[in-house]
Amino acid sequence: MPAHTQNLSKIAKIAPVLAVRAPAKLNLHLAVKDRRADGLHNLESIFLSLAFWDTLYFEPACEEKLLEISMEKEKKSGNLADFFALPAEKNIIFKAVSCFRDKTGFNRGLRIRVKKRIPVGGGLGGGSSDAASTLLALNRLAGGILPLCALAEMAESLGSDVPFFLHEAAAAWVSGRGEFIDPIEAPKGLFFVLVNPGFPSETARAFRLLSDFREGQATACGGNSGHGEKQLLLNALSGDPQNWPFKNDFLPAFLHLAKGSSGGGSSQNAEKAYLDIFARLKELGAVFSGLSGAGSTCFGVFTKMAEAKRACKILLETWDFVKLTFPSTFYLR
Ligand code: C5P
């Protein structure tokens, strides 16, 4: 049984309930490359799975095809109002179940309860991870009828970050639009402090901003990196985080907006929060800081647990969602 799943049948007497963890991720590095014929962009990214997760409970029901999804949120997981207001069919868990049912004809009724901890629209992959865990759980409930490659096809159709979570890797070099996953070793002995500025970031908007920014700067985005550049980045991962050459291509576009040099309207102030957060993280001892995904969660890397804890305590005076976390291998394996 994978380390992150537990069968709770002994606890729940009525029906066997499968509890599955859907971990968050960080992008330590995120380069946005050329636009493809399908309109999506090629990416090159270092993904890190975190020891911090949503939990999904799958309870089989007698009624064929029944699907009920209920969400609970943990106090600090930010404002989930938009997420809860979504019509059921727009929920990515609903989409994952529909996809699995269409492909396999596995129509057992299901009640799914989700305990959300990962902020929505925070660049931490919460929705994508929920979707991947749903595919894995359904395949397990159906007796493992599909091989990983068939699940991977479904994952890709659900969203760019879903394939990473399906592979259950501690860390990976991710390329293509997110479908090529090369598992790598997660860095050791580091502490990650996540700070969410309190607003979500919409991925499609972030790509539009980036494209406008690049046009304005006449910056070419380039195609895929050669093997040498990839190797350089991967080698750096095991070195001192102070020397990490990692970047997030969305960040300069957001900061350009924050500095008011393009008409950002009210969101201009929102993006200023990134500058504040990075400055505070540095002041508090972070040896590296960055933005995850297309925003909005920032992270700071610490080499001492005590410093990371102290930083959390201080940052919580300003921001509601601040979390100390580790690569998921830290205590799961
Ligand atoms: O994959 P996801 O649903 O998060 O993508 C949301 C939007 O972000 C896409 O519709 C597309 O506009 C943009 N996107 C992109 N290239 C990617 C991923 C997303 O252009 N690799």
Q: Quickly list DSSP for 76-104.
A: TS---HHHHHS-GGGSHHHHHHHHHHHHH
pLDDT level of residue 258 (50, 70, 90 thresholds): confident
Contact 213, 253 (CB under 8 A): yes
Contact 28, 21 (CB under 8 A): no
Answer yes or no: is pLDDT of 219 > 70: no
Across residues 194-209, what is the average pLDDT? 94
Q: Ligand 1 centroid vs 194 CA: distance in angstroms?
A: 23
CA distance 293 to 279: 20
To the query of whether residue 25 is one of the catalytic residues in this protein, the response is yes
Return the pLDDT at 75. Answer: 65
Return the pLDDT at 3. Answer: 44
Mean pLDDT rounded to a whole number for the chain: 88
Closest of 132, 27, 115 to residue 76, by C-alpha: 115
Q: Which residue has the higher pLDDT, 25 or 15?
A: 25
What count of other Cβ atoms lies within 10 Å of the Cβ of residue 305? 13
Answer yes or no: is pLDDT of 81 > 90: no
Return the pLDDT at 225. Answer: 73
Does the N-terminal peptide bond of residue 296 adopt cis geometry, omega within 30 degrees of 0?
yes
The residues, any chain, with a CB within 8 Å of residue 222's CB and separated by 6 or more, are 33, 34
Q: Which residue has the higher pLDDT, 228 or 200?
A: 200
Q: Ligand 1 centroid vs 108 CA: distance in angstroms?
A: 32
Answer yes or no: is pLDDT of 144 > 70: yes
Closest of 139, 210, 162, 154 to residue 23, by C-alpha: 162
In this structure, what DSSP letter does residue 12 have?
-
CA distance 22 to 130: 5
What count of other Cβ atoms lies within 10 Å of the Cβ of residue 101? 17
Ligand 1 pocket, CB under 6 A? 40-41, 43, 159-160, 177-178, 203-204, 207
pLDDT level of residue 221 (50, 70, 90 thresholds): low
Return the pLDDT at 11. Answer: 44
Q: Give residue for tokens 């991962």.
A: 237
Answer yes or no: is pLDDT of 58 > 90: yes
pLDDT level of residue 234 (50, 70, 90 thresholds): very high
Q: Which atom of ligand 1 is nearest to the CA of 177?
A: 21
For ligand 1, atom 3, which residue shows the shortest CA distance? 159
Q: What is the pTM of this model?
A: 0.90
Q: Give residue for tokens 């509890």.
A: 19
Return the pLDDT at 83. Answer: 59
Find the angle CA(93)-CA(82)-CA(264) to the nearest 5 degrees: 120
For ligand 1, atom 20, which residue shows the shortest CA distance? 40
Return the pLDDT at 12. Answer: 44
For the chain, what percent of residues have pLDDT higher than 70?
86
Answer yes or no: is pLDDT of 153 > 90: yes
pLDDT level of residue 1 (50, 70, 90 thresholds): very low
CA distance 143 to 139: 6
To the query of whether residue 161 is one of the catalytic residues in this protein, the response is yes
Answer yes or no: is pLDDT of 13 > 50: no
Answer yes or no: is pLDDT of 31 > 70: yes
Q: Ligand 1 centroid vs 88 CA: distance in angstroms?
A: 21
Answer yes or no: is pLDDT of 2 > 60: no
Q: Give the end-to-end CA distance of the chain in Å, rounded to a whole number.
A: 13
CA distance 328 to 208: 32
Return the pLDDT at 16. Answer: 80
Answer yes or no: is pLDDT of 231 > 50: yes
| Strand partners for 54 | 22
Amino acid at 144: G
Across residues 225-253, what is the average pLDDT? 93
Give tens-digit pLDDT for 263-322. Answer: 444 455 677 899 999 999 999 999 999 999 999 999 999 999 999 999 999 999 999 999
Across residues 194-207, what is the average pLDDT? 94
